[in-house]
Amino acid sequence: MDLRTCLRQEGIELPIEIIEKLEHFTLLLQEWNRVHNLTGAKTVEAIYGNIIDSLYPLVFIERPKSLLDVGTGAGFPGFVLAAALPETEVVLAEPLKKRVAFLKYAAIDIGLENVKVEAKRVEGVEHTPFDLISSRAVTNTKLLLELTENISDSHTNYLFYKGSRVFEEIEAVQHQLDYDIVQKNQRNYLYIRGRV
Ligand SMILES: C[S@@+](CC[C@H](N)C(=O)[O-])C[C@H]1O[C@@H](n2cnc3c(N)ncnc32)[C@H](O)[C@@H]1O
């Protein structure tokens, strides 16, 4: 099935030029992955699955002016969100060199002008507070909030891609959170609105 149909089935409607960029990304990732082993998603189907997982929150989040993705790895979700949100300034924090090389190359080759790759751990990122901070498969919610304390403020929203442990993780956060959990298959999208 083509990417446009896959996205449509999930209720994600995107302009054709963005879908073409995501197809371009899929080809590049497959090519680089053969040599550099960047991600476990080896097939087109697996990459499309990761793209849909990354983009599904567009159905319920507010559009941010600035977005930080913590630990983007081979591009999920930050790079894919950047392709889908060309008006958003996106920073990808990723310390692993081969993944950084891929993200930088892909941003130039695909022509994403709204992306900046910070080749460092998120603790070292300096920026004014972001509108949205996302992260998938990096660390727990409490630590993510702590590590991004200096680059967030009371208006920052958070979008964490979680599994079944999301409820214990929320309990471990000591301060009160205003959040929604959007469930889709095995995924729990934790969307935290500002800090109460
Ligand atoms: C399991 S991978 C997940 C990659 C991607 N988010 C995904 O879901 O496919 C975790 C990534 O987080 C990065 N990472 C680990 N600690 C980090 C930190 N403190 N700041 C930024 N990235 C970090 C690693 O280099 C790795 O690429």
Structure tokens at 161: 């891609």
Q: Is 76 annotated as a binding residue?
A: yes
CA distance linking residue 158 with residue 192, whole number of Å: 5
Q: What is the pLDDT of residues 142-152, one digit of tens each?
A: 999 999 999 99
CA distance 121 to 96: 9
ipTM attached to this prediction? 0.99
Residue 196 has pLDDT above 60, yes or no: no
CA 49 to ligand 1 center in whole angstroms: 19
Does the annotation list 25 as a binding residue?
Answer: no
Question: Which residues are bridge partners to 89 per DSSP?
Answer: 66
67 CB within 6 A, ligand 1: no
* Cα 74 to averaged position of ligand 1 atoms, centre (Å): 9
From the list 131, 137, 196, the residue with the least C-alpha distance to 169 is 137
pLDDT in tens, 107-138: 999 999 999 999 999 999 999 999 999 999 99
CATH number at residue 87: 3.40.50.150
Mutate to test the pocket of ligand 1, among 67, 81, 138 (most ligand atoms within 8 A of CB): 138
Which structural domain range is residue 29 located in? Answer: 3-193
Tell me what pLDDT residue 190 has: 98
Q: Is the pLDDT of residue 180 over 90?
A: yes
User: Contact 15/4 with Cβ under 8 angstroms?
Assistant: no
CB of 71 shorter than 6 A to ligand 1: yes
123 appears as a binding residue in the annotation: yes
Number of domains in the chain: 1
Quick one: DSSP state of residue 150?
G
0.95 surpassed by pTM: yes
